[in-house]
Amino acid sequence: MAIARGASARAFATLADMLPRAAAPAPACSLCRAASSSRGISSSAARRQHAAQATPPPPRPRIPTEADIGAKMRSVLRNVAQPVVVAVARTDSPGPGSSTSSSSAYHGATLTSFASLTLEPHPLVAFSLRLPSRMADLLRLPEGSAPRTVAVSLLSHGNHGVADALAKPGAEQGPIFARPDWDNADPPALKSAVGSLTCEVVRSLPLRDVGGPTDPSDPHGSELFICRVLDATDGAGTDSLVHYRREYHAVAGKMGER
């Protein structure tokens, strides 16, 4: 009887070994164990924290370059009307009939960067020129030299043809200054403009390194010219010419009169 009971026990143990065993529970992560043992955090909150911890962070946005910012700035400023002026300075050419390459004693440039700075204690205006620029070369002040005189015509809507002509780099400007629309001043201003300012350059400032160092081998950039106003004259023109969204427009009327 004892032998039978021993055999039955051995058979039962063998049968138990053959049966599949339940899998052991997976060990909880350290965050879940800490959350489960904490009285203040529920198991669902622990799972949410674990999922947030396992999610990779989003990619960092690309930092815009100064070229990107400049392009965006240009796009924004196209929606702002800018006054159009013509700056004229005397050249080294003796004028018509000379043997030099240019037949004009004057050189002009169309600008949309003109701004009035102050009226007191000295009336000052300013404009910038994109380099390289012949006008910038004419107006730049060598050490110990006398201030250069520049005539600034504030254009009217009827002067858009002159604005276009003087905006073309490298164009022969002799025929432009041969037109009868210029006054007899030296340098001359347009009589049909809204008005004109006779100025002398008091300061020129290269803007390349104002915002930080740049590549010295790159010749491009801009130069700011600050001018003292010596005289101001009203012209015969009306309705100021402005540059807006890459086109010329005339300022006509005030709000409520259109």
Residue 96's pLDDT is 46
- Look up residue 21 and give its amino acid: R
| 79: β partners | none
Residue 93's pLDDT is 61
Query: With contact defined as beta carbons under 8 Å apart, do 236 and 154 qualify?
Result: no
How, if at all, do strands 106-111 and 247-250 pair? unpaired
Reported as a single tens digit per residue, the pLDDT across 69-116 is: 888 998 898 888 999 999 999 997 654 443 334 568 999 999 999 999
Q: How many CB atoms lie within 10 A of CB 104?
A: 20
Question: What is the CA 182 to chain-centroid distance, rounded?
Answer: 35
- What distance in Å separates the CA atoms of residue 92 and residue 104, rounded to the nearest whole number? 9
* CA distance to 93, 177, 205, 239, 244, per residue, from 249 (Å): 34, 24, 31, 9, 7
Reported as a single tens digit per residue, the pLDDT across 185-204 is: 999 999 999 999 999 999 99
Contacts of 182 (CB under 8 A, 6+ apart): 188, 189, 190, 191
Residue 17's pLDDT is 55
Instruction: Give the DSSP H/E element, type plus range, for residue 161.
Output: helix 160-166
What one-character-per-residue DSSP string does 77-91 give? Answer: HTTS-EE-EEEEEE-
- What distance in Å separates the CA atoms of residue 197 and residue 40, rounded to the nearest whole number? 78
The CATH architecture that domain 73-250 belongs to is Roll (2.30)
Digit-by-digit pLDDT tens for the chain (258 residues) are: 444 454 444 544 454 455 555 555 555 555 445 444 544 456 666 666 666 666 777 888 888 887 888 889 988 988 889 999 999 999 976 544 433 345 689 999 999 999 999 999 999 999 999 998 999 999 997 777 888 999 999 999 999 999 999 999 888 999 999 999 999 999 999 999 999 999 999 999 988 878 777 777 776 789 999 999 999 999 999 899 999 888 889 887 666 655
Query: With contact defined as beta carbons under 8 Å apart, do 156 and 237 qualify?
Result: yes
Q: Which among 4, 12, 55, 49 has a CA at the least distance from the CA of 29? A: 49
